Amino acid sequence: MSSDIEIARAARLSPIADIAARLDIPPAALIPYGRHKAKIDAAFLDNLTERPEGRLILVTAMSPTPAGEGKTTTTIGLGDAMNRIGRRTAICLREPSLGPCFGQKGGATGGGQAQVAPMDEINLHFTGDFHAITTAHNLLAAMVDNHIYWGNPLGLDPRRIVWRRVMDMNDRALRAIVSSLGGNGAPAETGFDITVASEVMAILCLATDLADLQARLGRIIVGYAKDGTAVTCADLKADGAMTALLKDAAQPNLVQTLEGNPALIHGGPFANIAHGCNSVIATRAALRLADYVVTEAGFGADLGAEKFFDIKCRQAGLKPAAAVVVATIRSLKMNGGLAKSQLSDEDLPALLRGCENLGRHVENVRQFGVPAIIAINAFSQDTDAEIAEVRAFAARLGVDIALCRHWAEGGAGAEDLARKVAALADSDESRFAPIYPDDLPLWEKMEAVALRIYRAERVTASKAVHQQLSRWRKAGFGRLAVCMAKTQYSFSTDPERLGAPVGHEVQVREVRLSAGAGFVVAICGDILTMPGLPRHPAAEQIGLTAGGDIDGLF
């Protein structure tokens, strides 16, 4: 069987202008980056506001396992299938981070016959958006240190600087460092986060235009003076230069699927440590250019979908029409207690136990008033009895289900899902609403997510966390959303508790204010904002062939 990269290279890609024409984007509105990718000019997008919006479809998933669920692959396969059945559809995805590409997860462009292309270029550097975000973030960090070096007229307390540096790579050695050694300022403890956890990334993905982008950047809090007064990016006069660095990065990227359908790929915050959605700019553009937009949110519905609904849709005024919850027989059995080495064996009791995880995610999506359908991403070793068991479970849950073979067959393998999703989106059943109101206190918002979505029994935090939340409320930040940062592998904060645990405790060990992004990050459990590389990172297998092609990326 051909590998994903061989399939991608064998595909005959169309000129990017031909892909743009499918969305009525004229050549003059394209800023080409080579033959097969381009940015869409902001001036063109500004003139789309009078067009009616299409219907927004979210693809989310059960809790991820090492067995894989194929959420991105399903998003692409569904988009291809929607176009096959005559529904004018655009796909909206996040950009891959270099950290996972060289670490353990690998690339993020789909798989098999359901891919976006050019795969190598999208996974490595793409159009430079992440580099621009990294540079803008670190410019602010440099200006903070420089301000202190030249006398600190704003009175920043060096012990209360909260703006760290970032890089788009997994590097555990940079989690905690001492900076400014060798007489280059006052030595200080600091560290690095991965770029996808940067508030600048979140801001780029939530801003509506360049003016909003600069205003949000200006609200970033870099630290506090000794009297407790917040010092912002605007106070340091860094917001203008940061916006200039991000001017091109703020324009969404257009590529294509292997079947020649348009895909907008823009932004890439992780869902376990950030809000896990592509940019508002790209989603809004797609909604004006297509009748249907298929987008995804990272990891399981407890993370990506919750933040998509409670953060992105709330801030951008988006109203999703339907949601798809992706699962695989293999991951269901793993959530039911089987080891990865046992997944090829038929085990109906384990499968049924794992279905509890899937059911929890479907119930959670419904809590937001959004109708859902289950997509089973089929593998060749799935047995008829296993598929029948999942169908019976879905029937008991009262939710429709579709068996999909888009990895092997492309859009043709997801036509049943496409027809059902289109009917669901057209039904106007959605009664979308976030699960907590803006005026609920910050702590109670965290409790709402933990108790209603994670099914925790209690939420705990130190006195210092509660005091910090109280100070932010008094400072006018009480109406912000909350962004829960926790493991993606479990509803709990323990990655080993698979399935659908109840009665557990969620400990909020730290809170961070992202005033520009418009949310408070609650770090729960042992979540890391700078991942490390595994014992055998994917980078060991990546290189160039004799012909100069990238090999081993997927």
DSSP assignment of 473-487: IIIIITT-EEEEE--
pLDDT, tens digit, 9 for 90 and up, residues 533-545: 989 888 888 888 8
| Residue 548 domain-assigned (yes or no) | no
Mean pLDDT (whole number) for 69-79: 95
How high does pLDDT run on average in the chain?
94
Distance CA 21, CA 27 (A): 8
Q: How far apart are CA 296 and CA 122, in angstroms?
A: 17
393 is catalytic: no
Q: Within this chain, do residues 253 and 328 fall inside the same structural domain, yes or no? A: yes
CA distance 258 to 7: 9
Q: Who's near 533: CB < 8 A, 6+ residues apart?
A: 102, 103, 104, 170, 171, 172, 539
Render pLDDT for 175-198 as a digit per residue (tens, 0 to 9).
Answer: 999 999 988 888 889 999 999 999
Select which of 368, 379, 443, 477 is catalytic: 379
35 within some domain: yes
Say whether 226 is catalytic.
no
Q: CA 381, CA 66: separation in Å to the nearest integer?
A: 17
Same domain, 304 and 259: yes
> Is 71 a residue of the active site?
yes
Quick: pLDDT tens for 24-63: 999 999 999 999 999 999 999 999 988 999 999 999 999 9
* Burial (0-12, 13-18, 19+ Cβ within 10 Å), 391: middle
Confirm whether 445 is a catalytic residue.
no
Query: What is the band of 19 on the pLDDT scale with cuts at 50, 70, 90?
Result: very high
DSSP 137-162: HHHHHHHHHHHHHTT-TT-EEEEEE-
pLDDT for residue 10: 67
Q: What are phi and psi for residue 222, nearest 5 degrees?
A: -95, -20
Quick one: which H or E segment has residue 84? helix 71-84
The reply to whether 167 and 122 lie within a common domain is: no
Residue 401 · residue 376 · CB < 8 Å? yes
Measured between its terminal Cα atoms, the distance across the chain in Å is 14
CATH code of the domain in which 213 resides = 3.30.1510.10
**Is residue 370 included in any domain, yes or no?**
yes
Residue 8 above 70 pLDDT? no
| Domain membership flag for residue 222 | yes
Are residues 298 and 225 part of one domain? Answer: no
| Cα–Cα distance, 365 to 324 (Å, whole number) | 9
DSSP-based three-state secondary structure for 314: helix
Is residue 356 pLDDT above 80, yes or no?
A: yes
Q: pLDDT tens digits for 382-433?
A: 999 999 999 999 999 999 999 999 999 999 999 999 999 999 999 999 999 9
How much is the pLDDT for 272?
Answer: 87
* Catalytic residue (one of 271, 282, 290, 305): 271
Same domain, 390 and 260: yes
Stretch 195-203: mean pLDDT, rounded? 96
Residue 360 located in a structural domain: yes
Q: Is residue 505 domain-shared with residue 469, that is, in the same domain?
A: yes
Identify whether 15 is preceded by a cis peptide bond (ω within 30 of 0): no
- Counted domains in the chain: 3
Alpha-carbon span 289 to 51, nearest angstrom: 8
Identify the domain containing residue 28 by its residue range.
Answer: 4-127+249-426
pLDDT band at 495 (very low <50, low <70, confident <90, very high): very high
Regarding whether 72 and 141 lie in a shared domain, the answer is: no
By percentage, how much of the chain surpasses pLDDT 90? 86
Q: What is each CA distance from 397 to 361, 371, 374, 390, 394, in whole angstroms? A: 11, 13, 11, 10, 5
Question: For 368-480, where are the alpha helices, taking DSSP H only?
Answer: 384-397, 406-409, 415-426, 442-448, 463-472
Evaluate if residue 1 carries a pLDDT over 50: no
Is 300 a member of any domain?
yes
Catalytic residue among 22, 39, 71, 420: 71
pLDDT of residue 5: 64
Q: Are residues 284 and 404 in the same domain?
A: yes
CA distance linking residue 55 with residue 92, whole number of Å:
13
Backbone phi, then psi, for 429, in 5-degree steps? -80, -20
- DSSP-derived 3-state class of residue 262: strand
The reply to whether 533 falls in a domain is no
- CATH number at 454 reads 3.10.410.10
Q: What is the DSSP letter of 3?
A: -
Q: pLDDT above 70 covers what percent of the chain? A: 98
**Residue 66 has what pLDDT?**
87
Contact 337, 310 (CB under 8 A): no
**Of the residues 55, 94, 312, 330, which is catalytic?**
94
Of 368, 391, 426, the one marking the end of a domain is 426
State the pLDDT confidence band at 447, using cuts at 50, 70 and 90.
very high
- Average pLDDT (124-148) is 97
- Does the active-site annotation cover 105? yes
Q: Is the pLDDT of residue 136 over 90?
A: yes
| Range in 332-336, 423-427, 529-533 with the lowest mean pLDDT | 529-533
Check 102, 126, 163, 299 and give the catalytic one.
299
Contact predicate 288/92, CB 8 Å? no
Pair (181, 201) in one structural domain: yes
Backbone angles phi, psi at 374, to 5 degrees: -95, 135
Between 520 and 548, where is the model more confident? 520
**Is the pLDDT score of 234 beyond 90?**
yes
In a shared domain, residues 166 and 262: no
Q: Are residues 209 and 279 in the same domain?
A: no
Q: Among residues 9, 88, 105, 479, which one is catalytic?
A: 105
Residue 431 lies in a domain: no
Helix 415-426 vs helix 71-84: crossing angle, to nearest 10 = 80
Identify residue 354 by its one-letter amino acid code.
G
Task: Give how far the C-alpha of residue 547 lies from the chain's centroid of Cα atoms, to the nearest Å.
Answer: 34
CATH code for the domain of 369: 3.40.50.300
Q: What is the mean pLDDT of residues 133-141?
A: 98
Position 260 confidence tier, pLDDT thresholds 50, 70, 90: very high
Instruction: Read off the pLDDT band of 4 (50, 70, 90).
Output: low
554 in catalytic set: no
Question: In terms of DSSP bridges, do strands 114-117 and 372-377 run parallel, antiparallel, or are they unpaired?
Answer: unpaired
Residues 65, 72, 73, 243: which is the catalytic one?
73
CB-based contact 365:325 (threshold 8 Å): yes
d(CA 175, CA 408): 41
C-alpha distance from residue 537 to each of 104, 105, 119, 120 (Å): 6, 9, 20, 18
Check whether residue 230 and residue 271 sit in a common domain. no
Q: Looking at per-residue confidence, does 486 or 549 come out higher?
A: 486
CA-CA distance, 264 to 197, in Å (whole number)? 21
Q: Provide the 10 A C-beta neighbour count for residue 445.
A: 27
For 352-372, b where at least 16 C-beta lie within 10 A, e where not — what string? bbbbbbbbbbbbbbeebbbbb
**Is residue 258 very low, low, confident or very high in pLDDT (cuts 50, 70, 90)?**
very high
Q: DSSP code of 297? A: B
Instruction: pLDDT band for 3, please (50, 70, 90 cuts).
Output: low
- Whether 92 shows a pLDDT value over 60: the answer reads yes
